[in-house]
Amino acid sequence: MIVNILVGIGVAFFGFVLQTSTAGVNRKIVGRLQKRYGPRWYQEFIDIFKLLSKRSVSHGWIFDFGVIMALGGVIGTAMFMPITSSFVAFQNYDNFFIYVYLMAVGMLGMAMSASGSGNPWASIGVMRALTTMLAYEVPFLIVVLTIINISGTSSMTEIQLFQQAAGNNWFIIALPLGGIVGVISLMGMLGKKPFETYIAPAEIASGPMVEYGGKQLGMLFILHEISAFIEISLFVHLFLGGATNIVEYLIKYFTVYTFVNLISNVNGRFKIDQVVTFFYKWPLLMAVTQAVIAIYFGWVI
Amino acid sequence: MASIELLILFLVGTGIVAYLLTKLNTTLGSIFTIFSVMFVFISLASYGFNLGLNETVNIIPGLTFTQTYLGFYFAIIIVFIYLMVSFFHPYYLDDYKYKDSYNLLFLLSLAGIIGAFYTDNFLQLFFFFELIIWTTMFLIPQGKSREAAVTYFGFSVAGSVAMLLGIFMIYQSSGTFDISIGLASLNGTTSIFVFVLFLIAAFSKLGIFPLHIWLPIAHGNAPHPFSPVLSGALVKLGAFIGVLALIKIVPATGVIGVIDMHVGQYIVAILGSLSIVFGTLMAIKEDDAKKLLAYSSMSHGGYILVAFSMLNSVAFAGGFYHILAHALASAGAFMAIAAVARATGTTKMKQLGGMIHKMPITYLAYLIAIISMAGIPPMGGFLSKWLIFQAVINKGMILVAIAVFFGSVGSFLYVFRPLASLFLGQELTEYKGVKEAPILMLIPTFIIMGLNVFTGTFPGAILKYINNIIVELGYAGINVTSSGIVDVYSGQGVLNPTLVSMVFGTGTLIAFLIFILLKKSRKVDLMDTYTAGNFVHDEHLLHYSVDFYAPLERLYEKQSNWMTKFYDALALKVKEIGKFSKYLFMSKNIGTTIFWIIAIIILLLWGEVL
C-alpha cells in the first residue's frame, strides 16, 4: 500500500512536470504563431518557483486552508490517474467518477479560499467558474455515460484496454459526435478561450486569483498544471484509446494540448450566459443524439 | 428487552411530563426531552439492529406490530435526527409563543414515527401518519408564519387522503389491511390505481414535482430547530411510502424494451428527474438560506425516487444510502444555519457575511455537510450518488441521466452560495459582537460532522446492513466487502471509499507540507484588498452576495414561478367552486335549504332502490 501511494505521488509529480513543460512549449508555439519569439520552454517553471520563494499576504485562516485543501484534492486525484494501460498506481480503483468528483473537492477549496479573501472580484470569478462547470459537465458526462455503457466498465484502464482490443475503434472514431463534444468540453474544463470567462483578466481582474501572491499563488499554479494534466489524460484515455507505452502517451498528450490551445488562440471570449446557452444547445444535443444512437440502436463504428 | 408498544407509550408519557416541566422551566423541560429521546434511541439501537424488539401488545388494544429491516433503517435514522435536534431546544424555545407544548408535540410526533415504521397494518399506518402530521402541524407555525403550517397541512392531507383511498382499494380487492399480503394481492387495474394513489402520498411527503410547493414554505418558515427534522427526517416518510409502492406493487403497465422498465416506474423516474432539475434551479435562485436547503431537499428527494424506480439492487443500495447520507447532510446544514440564525436573527443571505470569523466550528459543520450534499468524496453523499450513477448508466436511461448529472453539478452551485455570502466574504460591522454557538449545540454538530465523514470513508458495515433490506425486499444483495470495497454490475464499477479518503488525505498532507515549509505570510485585514485604485471604506460595498448567480438566473427568470402561478390559479378555482356551492346550499332563504334537503333525501333513497 505504501508503495502504491509513493507511485501515486510520483504520477502526480510526473503530471506536474509534463504539463508545465507542455504549456511552456505551447507558449513558444503560440509566440511563433503571432510572429514573436516567445519565452523559453521552461519559463513556467521559473514563474512557479519564483512565486513559491516570495513572501506573501494572507487574509485569514480560510484563505490558507482553502489553498491547501484545493491542492490536496487535485494531487489526490492525480494519484489515481493511469499513465498507460498497464501503469496505474491503484489497480482496479481508477473509477471515472473519482476524477470528476475528487477534483471537485479541490475546486471547492479554491472557491472557498478565493471567497474568503473578501474581494468581490474573486466571488464573481468563482460564480463564473461554477456556472461554467454546470455548463460543460452535463454534455461531457452524457458522452461518458455512453462510453461506460458500451464498454461495460468505468475503470479508466479497462476503457483503454477496450479500445485497444482488436476490432474496436478509438471512441473518438467510434462515437464521432461524442468525440466533438469531448473536445469542446475539454476546452471548457481547461478554461481555454472562448470559455475562459471566469479568469477574464481585463474584465474582473483575474477573477478567483485576484488576491493571491507569493506561495499561495504558486500553489494555485501547481494546482492549475496538475488539473490540466488530469483533464487531458482523461481525454486521451477516454477518446484516443489510451496508450500502451509512455512514448505513445506523451505524443497523444502533447497533440491534444497543442490542438486545443491552437483553437483557443483564434477565439474571442464568451459572456458567461453565452457559455451556458452554448453548452446546453449543440453539445448537449449532440451528446444525447450520440447516446441514443449508440445505446438504443447499437450503431457504434 | 424493549417493547415497541412500551416505547410508544413511553414517548406519550414523557411528552406529558415534558409539557408540565416546560411550563415550569423551559430549559428543564428541554433537557428532559433530550434524555427521553436518548432513551428511545439507545433502546432502538441496542435491540433493533437484529430485530430483537418485543412485538407483543398488552396494553393498547387493536394494535399489532412487526419488525422489518426496512422499517428499522428508517426508524433509527429519524430517531437519530430527532435526538440531535433536541439538543437545540434549550436555546430556542423561549422565543416561541406556545413554548409549553413544543416538547410535547415533538415527543408525540416521534411516537407516531416509531408506530408508523413498526406497524404491519395499513389502518395503523394511516393513523400514525396522521399523528405525525397533526403534531408537526402545530410545531411549524411557532416559527415565522402561520401560512406555512396551512400549506404543509394541505399537501400532507392531500397525500394521506390519497393513501387512505389506496388502502380502501386494497381492502376491497384483498379483504385485509395487512401490508404485505395486501400489496402482494394486487393485480390488473386496481394495481395501477393503488400505485398512483400511493405515489401521490409519497410525492406529497417527499416534495416531489409537482407537489413540491410546500417544501420551501414549510422548511423556510418552520422554527429553526424544527427545520432539520422536517428535511432530514420527516420527508423520508415519503420515501418509505415510495419504497412500498415502487417495489412491492407491480402496476399492470407495459414494459419499455430498450431500458427494460415498466412504464409506471419510468414515469416516476421522469418525475423524480424533473424535481431534481426544478429543485436545483430554484435553489440556485433562492436568497433565504433555509429555503435554499429546502429546494435542495426536493432535488435529493428526486434522487431517492429515481433510485427506487429502477428496480435493481445497486440502485436500491444507492437509494437507501442516499436516505442516510442526505438525512445527515441536510440535518447538519440546517443546524448550522439555525445556529447562525440564533446569533444574528436572520437567514437572508444578502444580510449576512463573514460569519466564519465568529463561528468557525459552525462553518466547518456546514462545510462538511455541503460536501456530502454535493456528492463529493470523502463524504457519504459521494457513495450514494456514485451507486445511483452506475445504476442509471447500466440501464442507459439518457433523459434521467441528464437530470441526475445536472443536479449533481448544480448542487455545487447552490451549496456554495451560503458558504460564500453567509460565512465568507467581508466581515460585516453589525455582526462584530456575535459569538460561537454554546457547547451543548456544538455536541450534535460534532457528532454529525463525524458521521458525515464516517459514512463516506467506512461504508462497509452500513452497506452490509442495507443488503439485509434488499434481500428482505426480494432482490439479491450488492457485492460489498467488509472493508467497504463496492463492486457493481460485475466490474462495471469498483470503488474503494477508504482508499479515496486516504489518498485525499495524502494529497492534503503534501500540500500542507509545501505550505508550511515556505516562507510565512503576513496577515492582512479583509478590507486590505485590490479595488482597482478606489478607496472603499464600507464592508457592505465589498461584499458580493445579492443575486449571486445573476447571469445564470436571468436565463430562466421568466419560467421560474410558473408552478407557483399554477397553484395560485388552482387555489382561486377552488375558492370559486366554494363560493358557488355556498351560493347554492348556504342560502338565507329557507325554501332553498328545504329544497336541497328533500332533493338529497330523494337522491339517497333512489340510490338505495337502485
The terminus-to-terminus CA distance of chain A in angstroms comes to 40
pLDDT of amino acid B153 = 86
Q: Could you tell me which chain A residue has the CA closest to the CA of B421?
A: A115
Same domain? For B91 and B172 the reply is no
Q: Give the model confidence (pLDDT) of A207-264 as tens digits.
A: 788 788 888 888 888 998 999 999 999 999 989 888 888 999 999 999 999 999 888 8
Residue B559 lies in a domain: no
Last residue of a domain, one of B57, B86, B120: B120
Same domain? For B113 and B168 the reply is no
Find the domain containing B79 and state its range: 1-120
Q: Give the model confidence (pLDDT) of B388-440 as tens digits.
A: 988 888 888 888 999 999 998 888 888 888 888 888 878 878 888 888 878 88
pLDDT of amino acid A257 = 92
Same domain? For B111 and B134 the reply is no
ipTM of the complex: 0.91
**pLDDT grade, residue B610 (50/70/90)?**
low
**pLDDT over threshold 70, residue B33:** yes
**pLDDT over threshold 70, residue B608:** no
Query: Using an 8 Å Cβ cutoff, are A182 and A147 in contact?
Result: no
**pLDDT over threshold 70, residue B226:** yes
**pLDDT over threshold 70, residue B159:** yes
Instruction: Tell if the CB–CB gap between B507 and A72 is shorter than 8 Å.
Output: yes
pLDDT of amino acid A19 = 92
Residue B510 lies in a domain: no
Same domain? For B142 and B113 the reply is no
pLDDT of amino acid B136 = 85
| Single-letter residue type at A139 | P
Whole-number Å distance between alpha carbons of B270 and A240: 34
**Average pLDDT over every residue of A109-115:** 87
CA A159 vs. chain centroid, Å, equals 19
Q: Give the model confidence (pLDDT) of B167-187 as tens digits.
A: 888 888 888 888 888 877 877
Lowest mean pLDDT among A247-261, B140-154, B194-208, B351-365: B140-154
Query: Using an 8 Å Cβ cutoff, are B240 and B115 in contact?
Result: no
Same domain? For B136 and B115 the reply is no
Residue B243 lies in a domain: yes
Q: What is the pTM of this model?
A: 0.91
Instruction: Tell if the CB–CB gap between A8 and B506 is shorter than 8 Å.
Output: yes
Same domain? For B145 and B175 the reply is yes
Residue B565 lies in a domain: no
What values do phi and psi take at B493, rounded to 5? -150, 130
Q: Give the model confidence (pLDDT) of A74-103 as tens digits.
A: 999 999 889 888 888 888 888 888 888 888
Same domain? For B174 and B297 the reply is yes
Residue B519 lies in a domain: no
Same domain? For B105 and B131 the reply is no
Residue B562 lies in a domain: no
Last residue of a domain, one of B483, B504, B525: B504
Residue B335 lies in a domain: yes
**pLDDT over threshold 60, residue A55:** yes
Residue B427 lies in a domain: yes
Last residue of a domain, one of B458, B477, B504: B504
Residue B274 Cα distances to B151, B268, B269, B407, angstroms: 22, 10, 9, 10
Instruction: Say yes or no: B521 contacts chain A, CB-CB below 8 A.
Output: yes
**Average pLDDT over every residue of B547-555:** 82
**pLDDT over threshold 60, residue B1:** no
The overall average pLDDT reported for chain A is 87
**Tally of domains within chain B:** 3
Whole-number Å distance between alpha carbons of A120 and A213: 17
Whole-number Å distance between alpha carbons of B327 and B529: 39
Same domain? For B460 and B605 the reply is no
**Average pLDDT over every residue of B491-504:** 85
Q: How far is B376 from chain A (nearest CA, A)?
A: 5
Same domain? For B88 and B172 the reply is no
- Please report residues of B whose CB lies closer than 8 A to that of A142: 398, 401-402, 405
In chain A, where the domains are located: 2-296
The overall average pLDDT reported for chain B is 85
Same domain? For B397 and B464 the reply is yes
Q: Which H helix or E strand runs over B256?
A: strand B255-256
Same domain? For B294 and B377 the reply is yes
Beta strands B479-480 and B493-495 are unpaired
- Please report residues of A whose CB lies closer than 8 A to that of B366: none
Q: Give the model confidence (pLDDT) of B44-99 as tens digits.
A: 888 877 777 777 877 777 788 888 888 889 989 999 999 998 888 888 887 787 88
Q: Which of A75, A185, A277 to mutate to test the interface with B (most CBs of B within 10 A)?
A: A75
pLDDT of amino acid B322 = 92
**Prior bond of B210 cis (ω within 30°):** yes
**pLDDT over threshold 80, residue B586:** no
**Average pLDDT over every residue of B144-163:** 84
pLDDT of amino acid A201 = 65
